[in-house]
Amino acid sequence: MSTQAMPASSPLATVIRVTSGNFLEMFDFFLYGFYATYIASTFFPSGNEYLSLMLTFVTFGAGFLMRPLGAVILGSYIDRIGRRKGLIVTLAIMACGTVLIAFVPGYATIGVAAPLLVLTGRLLQGFSAGVELGGVSVYLSEMAPPGQKGFYVSWQSASQQAAVMAAAALGYLLNQQLAPGVIGDWGWRIPFFVGCSIIPIVFVIRRSLQETEAFKARKHRPAFREVVGSMVANWRLVLLGMMLVVMTTVSFYLITVYAPTFGKSVLKLSAADSLLATFCIGLSNFIWLPLMGALSDRIGRWPLLVVFTVLPLLTAHPVLAWLVRDTTFAHMLEAELWLSFMYASYNGATVVALTEIMPADVRTVGFSLAYSLATAIFGGFTPVVSTWLIQVTGDKAAPGYWMAAAAACGLAAALILYRPWRGARARSQPQ
């Protein structure tokens, strides 16, 4: 079979092709978060529910520690050999991790090898994901028509929301058809098997990508040593980019991956209610992301970055405290939709801003390193931190403090990067 890219029939077809891997990645990540209690009992039995759940979330977070490594190694590879070929490589690595997690027998069958294999699968996924978001975002920014980068790049995050909705809908269907004991024994694996069946389709779709004109026009392709040198020289930019992303990655994992566990284990809502609320959050994000990406094209990035870090800084904990005081499905949905609106509005400007502030010759690795550091240090461990905060403080709304702290990081980075007090020009482009 030929490996040459087929011409894209339309911008929509190209967006679908490039974001298909994003869909697969988030589909699997969300499943891990939702079925955390079943994964804990299957692979990390300890006789202590809190300890087993913490081990499960630590394993989930461990994959994020591989992201910076994947960002530098795979990011430099993509900046050297091309966006299209690199995105195919990242998909292959991601697929290996997905298959491994889906088919590993439980602790009762193969003992300690079970959690070690699950950890290996998460590390492979993390290594791949370290550059997946960056590769997709850079591809979308380079193919976007002038003045529409925010709108086009927003579909990177929107594709993740489609995955959240698909996974939540599948989980809800299984919850209606299978008894809780069956789901706990083996039924939780069915969605992971579905994810594995998607892999060949995504490969076919992604192989049809074309290389971006912006990359083909570049005369210089930096070697790995040059890439590392550029990252060292631009360490302040990478650090500020990481701070900018902290708000996005913490709030995303809080309202999607951790939300079902929060609903079931903390608020004591049913699994069906938690899944239904999460589906609605995915739909809300899917709607708001492209709208706010387009808005950032019209008014600039910094107004959205500032407004939607100040709002969660002031409201994240109070909203969750209100939910904890009067817990109902309707109130959980209202609280989550408010958090969703703030996340999507901020993210619509953040991701495209990150592609704009990085040097063109190392755009993929610069974006990926900043994003993966934020995810590895902060966002990926949001389920662990949230579980720990509730345990040590006794405050069920404590995850709101974590989101507020992330918002403070984003606000500081936005003010430093865009320096709005320097005049109108700073309102549209970073200094």
Q: What is the mean pLDDT of residues 306-330?
A: 94
Q: Residue 304 above 80 pLDDT? A: yes
Question: Between 122 and 420, where is the model more confident?
Answer: 122
Each residue's pLDDT tens digit, 158-200 = 888 888 888 888 888 888 888 878 887 888 888 888 888 888 8
Q: Which residues contact 126 (CB under 8 A, 6 or more apart)?
A: 62, 63, 64, 65, 66, 67, 70, 97, 380
Would you place residue 219 in the very low, low, confident or very high pLDDT band (cuts 50, 70, 90)?
Answer: low
**pLDDT at residue 421, as a whole number:** 47
Alpha-carbon gap, residue 310 to 171, rounded angstroms: 34
Percent helix, strand, coil in the chain, to 5, is 85, 0, 15
Q: What is the dihedral of CA 49, 268, 30, 156, to 10 degrees?
A: -140
AA identity, residue 255: I
Local structure of residue 6 (DSSP, 8 states): P
Would you place residue 276 in the very low, low, confident or very high pLDDT band (cuts 50, 70, 90)?
Answer: confident
**pLDDT at residue 401, as a whole number:** 95
Would you place residue 214 in the very low, low, confident or very high pLDDT band (cuts 50, 70, 90)?
Answer: low
Q: Residue 216 above 70 pLDDT? A: no
Q: In order of start, what are the domains of the chain with their CATH numbers? A: 11-207+223-427 (1.20.1250.20)
**pLDDT at residue 69, as a whole number:** 83
**pLDDT at residue 414, as a whole number:** 93
SS3 386: helix
Alpha-carbon gap, residue 15 to 45, rounded angstroms: 42
Would you place residue 212 in the very low, low, confident or very high pLDDT band (cuts 50, 70, 90)?
Answer: low
Which is nearest to 122 in space by CA: 209, 185, 58? 58
Q: Residue 146 above 90 pLDDT? A: no
AA identity, residue 135: G
pTM (2 decimals)?
0.78
SS3 325: helix
Each residue's pLDDT tens digit, 231-241 = 788 888 889 99
Q: Residue 149 above 50 pLDDT? A: yes
Q: Residue 120 above 80 pLDDT? A: yes
Alpha-carbon gap, residue 255 to 281, rounded angstroms: 7
**pLDDT at residue 56, as a whole number:** 74
**pLDDT at residue 345, as a whole number:** 95
CB count within 10 Å of CB 135 equals: 31
Q: Which residues contact 154 (CB under 8 A, 6 or more apart)?
A: 289, 290, 292, 293, 294, 347, 348, 351, 352
Alpha-carbon gap, residue 156 to 131, rounded angstroms: 13
Query: Would the CA dihedral through 237, 240, 246, 248 be positive or negative?
Result: negative
3-state DSSP of 392-431: HHCCCCCHHHHHHHHHHHHHHHHHHHHCHHHCHHHHCCCC
Alpha-carbon gap, residue 244 to 258, rounded angstroms: 21
Q: What is the mean pLDDT of residues 285-289?
A: 94
Each residue's pLDDT tens digit, 375-392 = 888 887 888 899 899 989
Q: Which residues contact 227 (CB under 8 A, 6 or more apart)?
A: 72, 75, 76, 79, 80, 362, 365
Q: Which residue has the tokens 């028509």?
A: 145
Q: What is the mean pLDDT of residues 68-87?
A: 75
**What is the share, in percent, of the chain residues with pLDDT greater than 90?**
26
**pLDDT at residue 312, as a whole number:** 96
Question: Between 339 and 185, where is the model more confident?
Answer: 339
CB count within 10 Å of CB 279 equals: 18
Alpha-carbon gap, residue 425 to 208, rounded angstroms: 39
Would you place residue 416 in the very low, low, confident or very high pLDDT band (cuts 50, 70, 90)?
Answer: very high
**pLDDT at residue 431, as a whole number:** 41
Each residue's pLDDT tens digit, 1-60 = 333 443 445 777 778 877 877 788 778 777 776 777 777 778 877 766 677 777 777 777
Q: Residue 423 above 70 pLDDT? A: no
Q: Which residues contact 113 (CB under 8 A, 6 or more apart)?
A: none
Q: What is the mean pLDDT of residues 334-341?
A: 94
b/e code 233-254 from CB counts within 10 Å (16+ = b): ebeebbebbbbbbbbbbbbbbb
